[in-house]
Amino acid sequence: MITGRDLSFAYGAGRRSTPVLAGVDVDARPGRVLGLIGPNGSGKTTLLRLLHAALRSPTGRVEVDGATVGDLGPREAARRLAVVVQEHGGESTMTVGEMVLLGRTPHLGSFQRTGAADHRAATDALRRVGADHLGPRAFAGLSGGERQRVLIARALAQEATHLLLDEPTNHLDVRYQHEVMALVRGLGTTCVVVLHDLALAARYCDDVALLGDGRVVASGEAADVLTPEVLEPVYGIRVRRVVVDGESHLLLHPRTDPRTDPRTDPRTDQPHPTPAGGTR
């Protein structure tokens, strides 16, 4: 479990500092996927970086299974937290197998070479993400979806108890977005994932923390947070939630002025009905 209490952060110093987060509390519960959502600039990636100690909050604390993250040495922290950041790797000369083996670094002593157990862990990680056939290929030559699978495999080879991902679906087409999120959901590992896409959050996250103006506006189970009443004031859009085959889906519409939008009936704020036998 990851807990963050009273977290804050500002970029810059003195009068030129820019506050990003203030008084933030967050919980990633064991074996569940927590989605960090919110508009651009709301502090999602900053919060994720505070959770894995890439940044330090001047207030509060972050704990992983009861241990303060800031007190852990780098090797012990890497055994508890695996991080997948946005990474292109276009200049890398590594093969996929070599890239995944990097995840074994926290388990190696100084100047220790990888052994049979490390190679088995890397192979198993690639198998779990459905990419074991990619081992000999050059990482730089992979598609976006394949690359994300390999980076997740590297995190799994690390054998950490928690997985944190920063926008893992960024720049992927729709198919790969769903494949990557279905993979994350199926791992059974405590996960924290930064997402822009509310539809993906609704489908794949167990819990959601909604950020706005540097604070947590709402948090809890996804079904309780991803509602029109909660989302509309933060995003400034119209939201409708529908359930299809037992799954929640969000329909998003830009807000318009019903007095000036010819498509909208000002009496109901709903689209005009289409005339029978024709189209508008």
Per-residue pLDDT of the chain (280 residues; tens, 9 = 90+): 999 999 999 998 777 888 899 999 999 999 999 999 999 989 999 999 999 999 999 999 999 999 998 888 888 888 899 999 876 555 678 999 999 999 998 888 777 888 899 999 999 999 988 888 999 999 988 888 888 889 989 998 998 889 999 998 887 888 888 988 998 898 888 999 999 999 999 999 999 999 999 999 999 999 999 999 999 999 998 988 888 887 777 888 887 655 445 554 544 445 555 444 444 4
Is the residue at 146 inside a domain?
yes
Output the pLDDT for position 273: 53
Output the pLDDT for position 204: 94
Report how far Cα 154 is from the mean position of its chain's Cα atoms.
17
**Do 3 and 192 form a contact (C-beta atoms < 8 A)?**
no
Is the residue at 40 inside a domain?
yes
β-pairing verdict for 247-254 and 237-244: antiparallel
SS3 content of the chain, % helix, strand, coil (to 5): 35, 30, 35
Is the residue at 275 inside a domain?
no
**What dihedral angle (degrees, nearest 10) is formed by the CA atoms of 128, 131, 136, 141?**
-140
Residue range of the domain that includes 196: 2-237
Is the residue at 166 inside a domain?
yes
CATH code of the domain in which 226 resides: 3.40.50.300
Output the pLDDT for position 39: 93
